[in-house]
Structure 1
Amino acid sequence: MTDNNHVLLRQNDNGIAELILNRPEVHNAFDDQIIESLISQLEHVDTNDNIRVLILRSNGKNFSAGADLAWMKRMAKNSHQENLQDAGRLAKLMERLNNLSKPTIGLVQGAAYGGAVGLAACCDIVIASEDAQFCLSEVKIGLIPAVISPYVVRAIGERQSRRFFLTAEAFSANTAKTFGLVHEVVATADLFDDACARITATLRRNSPQGMRAAKDLIFAVSSKVIDQAVIDDTAKRIADIRVSTEGQEGLSSFLEKRKPNWIQE
């Protein structure tokens, strides 16, 4: 286990890692130091071949209240350039999580406000408890959900964004599921581990290379015009992976009716 008290990284023997926000006394609000810790841990996870799946979760009743008020107060006194640099680090966090080469599962309970909605939107799979409440609250204090917007708009669509960016209304886990932000709703956070175990067992049976390539494929074709460039790119991607080591192993194991070598159990 790696930790700096407020950000914990735990890894088990099955290749599952948990990145945990651990500031329940302030509803897991994050500041510049926590952002740097999260970026560092995500970079470690991305390059660690022993980690197959990352779970993002938090301790306490709330997933995250978003930006820490003391941090926001401090940044309000800084120059435009300092604010630009600071915002760039939050943008870097979102980019790192969104583009992580491993599958990511976000577990959301209680409040997920402001930037926390961005964290959820950057995860591949999101499970929320029924008590979860999402809120893009920035306009209430004269701000905008700027650096999280590319990910949130992709997750919930332009139409819902046009309402909830502007009204700052809170919406429930079940509403978030209808928007596409949440994939599964469980009754209570106590059921997160069971839901995660089911999904991670499925993910661990899949080719690590295949999942990395599939995630990259989604980004490559999402919202693109299906022109000759896209057609040629997708053809190249399948040709490349067919002749790769894992591609060959996957095809061979299927034809030989045996488990591929990436399944250890």
Structure 2
Amino acid sequence: MFETIAIQTDDRGVATLTLDRAEKHNAMSAQMIAELTQAAVQLGADETVRAVILTGAGRSFCAGGDLRWMQDQMAADAATRFVEAKKLAMMLKALNELPKPLIGRVQGQAFGGGVGMASVCDVAIGVDTAKFGLTETKLGLIPATIGPYVLARLGEAMARRVFMSARIFKADEAVTLGLLAKAVPADELDAAVEAEVAPYLSVAPGAVAEAKRFTRWLGQPITEEIIDQTIQGLVDRWEGAEAQEGIGAFFDKRKPAWLR
């Protein structure tokens, strides 16, 4: 049914949603975005599912946007870019609003959109060797569509430490920032994730869904208007000279003009 992701559900009702493009470091393609959106709807409607674990195959959790997807956006007109970015935004929204507990099992590095994927989890546990970065500004872009979820997770003060600089940070700092709840050795990751999952098997699933909805209502609102503003911000950057230079330099394997 799916080609870029996999879903396995055990007899307890714990579903594992795996980003399954290990050879591409689980970078998000248009197909993966569509499949993740479909998976969120499917898992949300399945009354037998009590909790969902989000993880990646291979060495990386998620390397952000797929290079081909980025090239396609640069070649498209503004209207098409908006439509495609909206698909990414709505996928993140669907995962963020999944009426089940979503536990991130971050088994490797996460950059750009990968940080956004960790941010939409209710709690994320990572390996202590993982590295992270909001790397969009290196390309003349901004972490726009993932921005509301990153800010909701980190808070403004912590987000400002990593949101603009594109610097790479380690798992221990990810814990300090609030992106990860805990960083553990690789051989302890599954046990740490299980410790987060287990309590949900002894509580009322409807109450869990309503409590999650309530936290979103009480917390920082992520409205359709905010989502559209973030998309427009990204489209505007794609239109600009810095994105043309940054992305062009990346694909040409040269230094961008602003590098000092």
2:5 is the alignment partner of 1:4: no
TM-score by length of 2: 0.82
Letter of the aligned partner of 1:144 in structure 2? I
2:188 is the alignment partner of 1:191: yes
1:126-158 deviation per Cα after TM superposition (whole angstroms, max 9, x unaligned): 000001111000000011110110010111111
Q: Which stretch of the first structure deviates more once superposed, 198-207 or 215-224?
A: 215-224
Of the candidates 209, 214, 222, which is equivalent to residue 219 of structure 2?
222
Q: Which residue of 1 aligns with 2:14?
A: 16
Flag the structure with more relative contact order, 1 or 2, with Cα contacts below 8 A and sequence separation at least 6.
Answer: 2
Q: Which residue of 2 aligns with 1:147?
A: 145
Q: Which residue of 2 aligns with 1:207?
A: 204
Q: Which stretch of the first structure deviates more once superposed, 207-216 or 96-105?
A: 207-216
The SS at the match of 1:167 is coil
Q: Distance in 1 between matches of 2:161 and 2:134?
A: 10
TM-score by length of 1: 0.81
Q: Distance in 2 between matches of 1:41 and 1:223?
A: 25
Residues 209/67 of structure 1: CA separation in 2 closer, same or farther (3 Å cut): same
2:119 is the alignment partner of 1:118: no
The SS at the match of 2:40 is helix
Letter of the aligned partner of 2:72 in structure 1? R
**Stretches of structure 2 lacking an aligned partner (at least 5 in a row):** 222-260
**Stretches of structure 1 lacking an aligned partner (at least 5 in a row):** 225-265
Residues 8/219 of structure 1: CA separation in 2 closer, same or farther (3 Å cut): same
The SS at the match of 2:164 is helix
Q: Distance in 1 between matches of 2:170 and 2:29?
A: 25
Number of residue pairs matched by the alignment? 221
Q: Distance in 2 between matches of 1:62 and 1:140?
A: 20
Of the candidates 84, 87, 90, which is equivalent to residue 86 of structure 1?
84
Q: Which one has a bigger Cα radius of gyration?
A: 1
Offset, 1:119: 0.7
Report % sequence identity. Answer: 36
Offset, 1:79: 0.7
1:206-239 deviation per Cα after TM superposition (whole angstroms, max 9, x unaligned): 1111111111111122259xxxxxxxxxxxxxxx
Q: Which residue of 1 aligns with 2:230?
A: none
